[in-house]
């Protein structure tokens, strides 16, 4: 999801649509890892959070 490629977003949509994860739970999981994102210099935590929030707030 962080890369936001069409394939990645399609994969995340498929996981939600198949019931593997609910969007609310996906955001909760993100919140658990968010403090550790600082360890990954290629990630911008605020931008990643924005992408997750946007995805989780849309209808399936």
Summarize pLDDT for 15-57 with one digit per residue, the tens: 999 999 999 999 999 999 999 999 999 999 999 999 999 999 9
Question: Which runs of E-coded beta strand occur in the chain?
Answer: none
Q: Degrees (nearest 5) of the Cα angle 32, 52, 43?
A: 75
What is the SS3 assignment for 42? coil
Which residues, at least 6 apart from 21, have a Cβ–Cβ distance to it below 8 Å? 15, 29
> How many Å apart are CA 37 and CA 46, to the nearest integer?
10
Domain spans in the chain, listed from the N-terminal domain onward = 6-57
- The whole-model pTM stands at 0.83
């Amino acid at each position: 999801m962080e890369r936001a490629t069409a394939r990645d977003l399609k994969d995340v949509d498929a996981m939600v649509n198949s019931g593997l994860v609910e969007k609310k739970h996906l955001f909760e999981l993100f919140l658990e890892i968010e403090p550790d994102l600082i360890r990954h210099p290629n990630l911008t935590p605020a931008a990643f959070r924005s992408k997750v929030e946007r995805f989780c707030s849309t209808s399936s």
